[in-house]
């Protein structure tokens, strides 16, 4: 079929697509292949189809006198890198370059989502390492490559135009096998942290639909697992996700509906507080306090916290740790006030049994 000027012409013969050179690729020195689907340009945004520089108006409109050559190359390279993701031989470099430059281009997320085959290529990278998760045989090179793919998915999850499309495609589920790993080696830790970053990007913007989707999956136990055995940074991101879920009424109701769920969250929070006594982390402690404070808004949860809130949160153990964070200190004061100082003796069935 002969397309418009400047576009590819695609001829369908015997269920295969034959791809012919176009002016756009010829200009940029792109090497074409006769293999099906390698360079297909169907469904690309106008900016790619017509050769418009990435991320905004044409370069001639922005600078009639001609922009610096380096700037022009940077703008054009982003489009080419997205195209390169569909070529297995060029993908690794494209992943690396796009992940490094993703913050520079505000329209990268829609471009990634709407470009033909791009999301499929990113998912192919992710599923390709499932087989080395157990037993744990993940190499640093494999981890870095997949983390670059995850960084681009985080870009899509963060953008207002693509967030819900990303969610409705159930793409977060592809990340869950990474969060379910327990190896503490650096490649696995990096993989978990980057995966948590994608989920964190989803919950960063308050949206009940996002929370409802995550609750319909196993995100809570996966976050609790990381909160127990991850690095400090992974624990911080996982606790932030639980905090954002709790701050939504749907999430709060979900966790406080049964004693089992409340107990699971409370136990992990308590264990983390205990570990912070030895190795304080103001940032992580702040998220933990906010989770506790939110739980205290629920009457049954507040009653349970009256007997099981860690003593170290009541007796000033963390005063020095929080001395520079006025907000965290105020949250802690409000938490202690909410739960009170009267405790139910253990032989009277205190603790989380209040929720039964």
The domains of the chain are located at: 1-42, 78-205, 207-356
Report whether pLDDT(107) > 90: no
Residue pair 22/7 in contact by the 8 Å Cβ criterion: yes
Q: Tell whether pTM > 0.85.
A: no
DSSP 159-198: STTTHHHHHHTTGGGGGHHHHT----SHHHHHHHHHHHHH
- The CA dihedral of 172, 177, 183, 186, to the nearest 10 degrees, is -40
The CATH class that applies to domain 207-356 reads mainly alpha
Query: What are the percentages of helix, strand and coil residues in the chain, rounded to 5?
Result: 65, 0, 35
Which tokens in the block code for residue 230? 């991850």
pLDDT computed for residue 10 by the predictor: 41
Report whether pLDDT(351) > 70: no
Residue pair 163/202 in contact by the 8 Å Cβ criterion: yes
Per mean pLDDT, which range of 21-30, 291-300, 309-318 is the poorest? 21-30
Report whether pLDDT(20) > 90: no
Buried b (16+ CB within 10 A) or exposed e, 212-236: ebbbeeebbebbbbbbeebeebbbb
Where does the chain show beta strands of DSSP type E? 10-13, 16-19
Report whether pLDDT(354) > 60: no
DSSP 274-289: HHHHHS--HHHHHHHH
Residue pair 303/309 in contact by the 8 Å Cβ criterion: no
Residue pair 340/290 in contact by the 8 Å Cβ criterion: no
Q: What angle do CA 284, 267, 255 make, to 5 degrees?
A: 90
Per mean pLDDT, which range of 22-31, 182-191, 256-265 is the poorest? 22-31
Report whether pLDDT(18) > 60: no
- Tokens 């949206």 belong to which residue? 207
- Tokens 């709790």 belong to which residue? 246
Report whether pLDDT(35) > 70: no
Q: Minimal CA–CA distance to 164: which of 205, 106, 105, 115?
A: 205
As a whole number of Å, the CA-based R_g of the chain is 25
Residue pair 251/215 in contact by the 8 Å Cβ criterion: yes
For the chain, what is the largest distance between any 2 Cα atoms, rounded to a whole number of angstroms?
83
Mean pLDDT of 235-257: 98
Q: Contacts from 101-108 at CB under 8 Å and sequence distance 24+?
A: 101/74, 102/151, 102/152, 102/155, 104/74, 105/54, 105/55, 105/78, 106/55, 107/54, 107/55, 107/56, 108/54, 108/55, 108/78, 108/152, 108/155
Categorise residue 253: left if φ over 0, alpha if ψ from -120 to 50, beta otherwise: alpha
**pLDDT more than 90, % of the chain:** 70
**Domains 78-205 and 207-356 agree in fold:** yes
Report whether pLDDT(105) > 50: yes
CATH number of 78-205: 1.25.10.10
Q: Minimal CA–CA distance to 336: which of 311, 299, 300, 319?
A: 311
Which tokens in the block code for residue 210? 């996002």
pLDDT computed for residue 347 by the predictor: 42
Helices 249-256 and 259-278: crossing angle in degrees, nearest 10, is 100
């Amino acid at each position: 079929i002969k397309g418009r000027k400047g576009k590819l012409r695609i001829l369908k013969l015997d269920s295969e697509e034959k791809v012919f050179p176009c002016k756009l690729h010829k200009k940029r020195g792109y090497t074409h292949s006769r293999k099906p689907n390698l360079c297909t340009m169907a469904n690309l945004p106008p900016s790619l189809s017509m050769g418009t520089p990435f991320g905004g108006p044409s370069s001639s409109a922005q600078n009639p006198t001609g922009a610096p050559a380096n700037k022009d190359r940077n703008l054009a390279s982003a489009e080419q890198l997205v195209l390169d993701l569909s070529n297995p031989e060029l993908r690794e470099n494209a992943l690396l370059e796009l992940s490094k430059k993703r913050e520079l281009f505000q329209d990268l997320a829609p471009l990634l989502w709407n470009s033909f085959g791009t999301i499929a290529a990113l998912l192919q990278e992710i599923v390709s390492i499932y087989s080395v998760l157990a037993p744990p045989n993940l190499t640093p090179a494999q981890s870095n490559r997949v983390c670059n793919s995850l960084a681009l998915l985080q870009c899509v999850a963060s953008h207002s135009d693509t967030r819900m499309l990303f969610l409705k495609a159930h793409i977060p589920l592809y990340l869950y096998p990474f969060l379910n790993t327990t190896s503490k080696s650096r490649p696995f830790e990096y993989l978990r942290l980057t995966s948590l970053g994608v989920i964190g990007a989803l919950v960063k913007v308050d949206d009940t639909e996002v929370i409802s989707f995550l609750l319909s999956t196993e995100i809570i136990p996966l976050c609790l697992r990381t909160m127990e055995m991850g690095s400090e940074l992974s624990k911080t991101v996982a606790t932030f996700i639980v905090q954002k879920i709790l701050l939504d009424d749907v999430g709060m109701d979900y966790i406080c509906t049964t004693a089992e769920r409340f107990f699971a969250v409370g136990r992990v929070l308590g264990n983390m507080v205990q570990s912070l006594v030895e190795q304080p982390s103001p940032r992580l402690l702040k998220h933990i306090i906010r989770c506790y404070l939110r739980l205290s808004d629920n009457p049954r949860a507040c009653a349970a916290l009256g007997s099981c809130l860690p003593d170290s949160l009541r007796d000033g153990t963390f005063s020095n740790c929080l001395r520079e964070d006025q907000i965290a200190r105020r949250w802690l004061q409000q938490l202690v006030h909410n739960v009170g100082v009267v405790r139910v003796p253990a032989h009277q069935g205190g603790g989380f049994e209040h929720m039964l």
